[in-house]
A = this chain, B = another copy of it.
Amino acid sequence: MTDRHGSHGPDHGLERLIFFSDAVFAIAITLLIIEVHVPELEGSATDAQWIAALFHLFPSFSAFALSFIVIGAIWTSHHATLSMLSQFDRSLIWPNMLMLMAIAFLPFSTALLSRGSLSIVPYVFYSASLLIAALLKTRLTLVALRPELISSGVPQQAVVVERRLAWVMPIVSAAAVILSAFVAQWGMLALLGIPIARRLPFFRRPDF
Protein backbone atom coordinates (compact mmCIF):
# COMPACT_ATOMS: atom_id res chain seq x y z
CA MET A 1 0.00 0.00 0.00
CA THR A 2 1.29 3.45 -0.80
CA ASP A 3 0.24 6.00 1.78
CA ARG A 4 -0.45 8.44 -1.04
CA HIS A 5 -3.93 9.28 0.20
CA GLY A 6 -3.79 7.72 3.65
CA SER A 7 -4.97 9.39 6.79
CA HIS A 8 -1.45 9.80 8.22
CA GLY A 9 -0.30 12.33 5.63
CA PRO A 10 1.85 11.59 2.61
CA ASP A 11 5.01 10.38 4.31
CA HIS A 12 3.94 8.25 7.26
CA GLY A 13 4.90 4.96 5.57
CA LEU A 14 8.23 6.52 4.63
CA GLU A 15 8.84 7.61 8.20
CA ARG A 16 8.31 4.10 9.49
CA LEU A 17 10.73 2.73 6.88
CA ILE A 18 13.33 5.34 7.89
CA PHE A 19 12.71 4.68 11.55
CA PHE A 20 13.19 0.94 11.22
CA SER A 21 16.34 1.48 9.13
CA ASP A 22 17.78 3.92 11.67
CA ALA A 23 17.22 1.41 14.44
CA VAL A 24 19.06 -1.31 12.49
CA PHE A 25 21.93 1.10 11.69
CA ALA A 26 22.14 2.16 15.34
CA ILE A 27 22.18 -1.41 16.65
CA ALA A 28 24.75 -2.63 14.12
CA ILE A 29 27.03 0.35 14.85
CA THR A 30 26.75 -0.11 18.63
CA LEU A 31 27.14 -3.92 18.56
CA LEU A 32 30.63 -3.41 17.10
CA ILE A 33 32.00 -2.88 20.60
CA ILE A 34 30.73 -6.29 21.78
CA GLU A 35 33.42 -7.91 19.63
CA VAL A 36 36.18 -6.07 21.53
CA HIS A 37 36.92 -8.40 24.44
CA VAL A 38 38.21 -7.16 27.77
CA PRO A 39 41.69 -8.64 28.50
CA GLU A 40 41.57 -11.66 30.83
CA LEU A 41 44.08 -10.61 33.48
CA GLU A 42 44.37 -11.61 37.13
CA GLY A 43 43.23 -9.07 39.72
CA SER A 44 46.89 -8.84 40.75
CA ALA A 45 48.19 -7.93 37.25
CA THR A 46 50.65 -5.03 37.19
CA ASP A 47 50.20 -1.72 35.41
CA ALA A 48 52.69 -2.83 32.74
CA GLN A 49 50.70 -6.02 32.08
CA TRP A 50 47.48 -4.00 31.71
CA ILE A 51 49.12 -1.53 29.33
CA ALA A 52 50.56 -4.38 27.25
CA ALA A 53 47.17 -6.10 27.14
CA LEU A 54 45.43 -2.92 25.99
CA PHE A 55 48.10 -2.29 23.30
CA HIS A 56 47.49 -5.84 22.15
CA LEU A 57 43.86 -4.80 21.44
CA PHE A 58 45.00 -2.20 18.91
CA PRO A 59 43.65 -4.20 15.89
CA SER A 60 40.27 -4.47 17.68
CA PHE A 61 40.13 -0.75 18.46
CA SER A 62 41.03 0.24 14.92
CA ALA A 63 38.54 -2.24 13.40
CA PHE A 64 35.85 -0.77 15.71
CA ALA A 65 36.70 2.80 14.66
CA LEU A 66 36.92 1.95 10.94
CA SER A 67 33.56 0.14 10.87
CA PHE A 68 31.90 2.84 12.97
CA ILE A 69 32.98 5.46 10.44
CA VAL A 70 32.01 3.33 7.44
CA ILE A 71 28.53 2.51 8.81
CA GLY A 72 28.22 6.17 9.84
CA ALA A 73 29.00 7.19 6.25
CA ILE A 74 26.38 4.80 4.84
CA TRP A 75 23.83 6.14 7.36
CA THR A 76 24.67 9.71 6.33
CA SER A 77 24.15 8.81 2.71
CA HIS A 78 20.87 6.98 3.48
CA HIS A 79 19.71 10.07 5.40
CA ALA A 80 20.56 12.37 2.47
CA THR A 81 18.92 10.13 -0.14
CA LEU A 82 15.66 9.43 1.69
CA SER A 83 15.25 13.05 2.83
CA MET A 84 14.69 13.88 -0.88
CA LEU A 85 11.52 11.80 -1.04
CA SER A 86 8.01 12.89 -0.20
CA GLN A 87 6.37 9.61 -1.05
CA PHE A 88 6.47 6.12 0.35
CA ASP A 89 6.38 3.31 -2.16
CA ARG A 90 6.28 -0.42 -1.52
CA SER A 91 9.10 -0.90 -4.05
CA LEU A 92 11.50 0.64 -1.49
CA ILE A 93 10.98 -2.03 1.18
CA TRP A 94 13.03 -4.94 -0.11
CA PRO A 95 15.98 -3.03 -1.59
CA ASN A 96 16.16 -1.30 1.80
CA MET A 97 15.82 -4.60 3.72
CA LEU A 98 18.62 -6.27 1.75
CA MET A 99 20.87 -3.26 2.32
CA LEU A 100 20.10 -3.52 6.05
CA MET A 101 21.01 -7.22 5.96
CA ALA A 102 24.45 -6.27 4.64
CA ILE A 103 24.77 -3.60 7.37
CA ALA A 104 23.72 -6.06 10.10
CA PHE A 105 26.39 -8.45 8.79
CA LEU A 106 29.23 -5.94 9.29
CA PRO A 107 29.78 -6.65 13.02
CA PHE A 108 30.80 -10.17 11.95
CA SER A 109 33.25 -8.92 9.28
CA THR A 110 34.61 -6.41 11.79
CA ALA A 111 35.23 -9.15 14.35
CA LEU A 112 37.10 -11.06 11.64
CA LEU A 113 39.18 -7.98 10.81
CA SER A 114 40.05 -7.42 14.45
CA ARG A 115 41.85 -10.79 14.68
CA GLY A 116 44.95 -9.10 13.23
CA SER A 117 45.65 -12.12 11.05
CA LEU A 118 48.75 -12.70 8.91
CA SER A 119 46.49 -14.14 6.18
CA ILE A 120 44.90 -11.85 3.59
CA VAL A 121 41.54 -13.68 3.82
CA PRO A 122 39.98 -11.61 6.68
CA TYR A 123 40.91 -8.35 4.91
CA VAL A 124 39.53 -9.44 1.54
CA PHE A 125 36.40 -10.78 3.26
CA TYR A 126 35.89 -7.52 5.17
CA SER A 127 36.29 -5.28 2.13
CA ALA A 128 34.08 -7.60 0.07
CA SER A 129 31.35 -7.30 2.71
CA LEU A 130 31.69 -3.49 2.51
CA LEU A 131 31.46 -3.74 -1.28
CA ILE A 132 28.21 -5.72 -1.04
CA ALA A 133 26.73 -3.26 1.48
CA ALA A 134 27.79 -0.35 -0.76
CA LEU A 135 26.30 -1.91 -3.89
CA LEU A 136 23.00 -2.60 -2.10
CA LYS A 137 22.93 1.03 -0.91
CA THR A 138 23.56 2.17 -4.51
CA ARG A 139 20.70 -0.01 -5.73
CA LEU A 140 18.41 1.52 -3.08
CA THR A 141 19.45 5.02 -4.19
CA LEU A 142 18.59 4.22 -7.81
CA VAL A 143 15.21 2.72 -6.82
CA ALA A 144 14.41 5.64 -4.49
CA LEU A 145 15.41 8.62 -6.65
CA ARG A 146 12.60 8.21 -9.16
CA PRO A 147 10.91 11.43 -10.30
CA GLU A 148 7.48 10.38 -9.00
CA LEU A 149 8.80 9.88 -5.46
CA ILE A 150 11.06 12.94 -5.17
CA SER A 151 9.78 15.89 -3.20
CA SER A 152 8.93 18.89 -5.38
CA GLY A 153 11.30 21.14 -3.39
CA VAL A 154 14.43 19.23 -4.42
CA PRO A 155 16.39 20.76 -7.35
CA GLN A 156 17.38 18.44 -10.19
CA GLN A 157 21.09 19.20 -9.59
CA ALA A 158 20.87 17.77 -6.04
CA VAL A 159 19.44 14.51 -7.42
CA VAL A 160 22.20 14.29 -10.03
CA VAL A 161 24.90 14.73 -7.36
CA GLU A 162 23.23 12.16 -5.09
CA ARG A 163 23.27 9.57 -7.87
CA ARG A 164 26.96 10.30 -8.53
CA LEU A 165 27.82 10.01 -4.84
CA ALA A 166 26.10 6.61 -4.75
CA TRP A 167 28.98 5.22 -6.84
CA VAL A 168 31.85 6.49 -4.65
CA MET A 169 31.64 3.82 -1.99
CA PRO A 170 31.23 0.81 -4.31
CA ILE A 171 34.25 1.92 -6.37
CA VAL A 172 36.39 2.61 -3.31
CA SER A 173 35.35 -0.70 -1.69
CA ALA A 174 36.18 -2.61 -4.86
CA ALA A 175 39.61 -0.99 -4.80
CA ALA A 176 39.97 -2.09 -1.16
CA VAL A 177 39.08 -5.70 -2.09
CA ILE A 178 41.76 -5.78 -4.81
CA LEU A 179 44.40 -3.96 -2.79
CA SER A 180 43.92 -6.09 0.31
CA ALA A 181 44.51 -9.23 -1.76
CA PHE A 182 48.06 -7.92 -2.18
CA VAL A 183 48.81 -5.91 0.94
CA ALA A 184 46.33 -7.27 3.54
CA GLN A 185 45.36 -4.57 6.07
CA TRP A 186 46.97 -1.78 4.04
CA GLY A 187 44.25 -2.30 1.46
CA MET A 188 41.93 -0.54 3.94
CA LEU A 189 43.73 2.68 3.05
CA ALA A 190 41.69 2.67 -0.17
CA LEU A 191 38.72 3.68 2.03
CA LEU A 192 40.36 7.08 2.47
CA GLY A 193 39.06 7.62 -1.05
CA ILE A 194 35.60 8.30 0.45
CA PRO A 195 36.44 11.52 2.35
CA ILE A 196 38.76 12.60 -0.48
CA ALA A 197 36.08 12.13 -3.16
CA ARG A 198 33.54 13.96 -1.01
CA ARG A 199 35.76 17.05 -1.12
CA LEU A 200 35.81 17.21 -4.94
CA PRO A 201 33.49 19.85 -6.46
CA PHE A 202 32.10 17.12 -8.75
CA PHE A 203 30.51 15.49 -5.68
CA ARG A 204 29.50 18.66 -3.81
CA ARG A 205 25.85 18.59 -2.72
CA PRO A 206 24.14 21.90 -3.60
CA ASP A 207 22.41 23.78 -0.81
CA PHE A 208 18.69 24.22 -1.30
Contacts and interface: CB of A to CB of B under 8 A. Distances in A.
Interface of A: 1-8, 11-13, 16-20, 22-36, 38, 41, 43-47, 49-51, 54, 64-65, 68-69, 72, 75-76, 79-80, 83-84, 86, 90, 93-94, 97, 100-101, 104-105, 107-108, 111-112, 115-122, 125, 151-154, 158, 205, 207-208
Nearest to A106: B33
Contacts of A6: 83, 151, 153-154
A157 to B, nearest CB: 11
B83 A41 contact: no
B1 A111 contact: no
Contact of A118 (B30, B36, B44): B44
Q: Count copies of this chain in the complex.
A: 4
Nearest to A6: B153
- The 6 A-B pairs with the shortest beta carbon distances in the complex, nearest first, are A23-B26, A50-B121, A7-B151, A27-B30, A72-B97, A38-B111
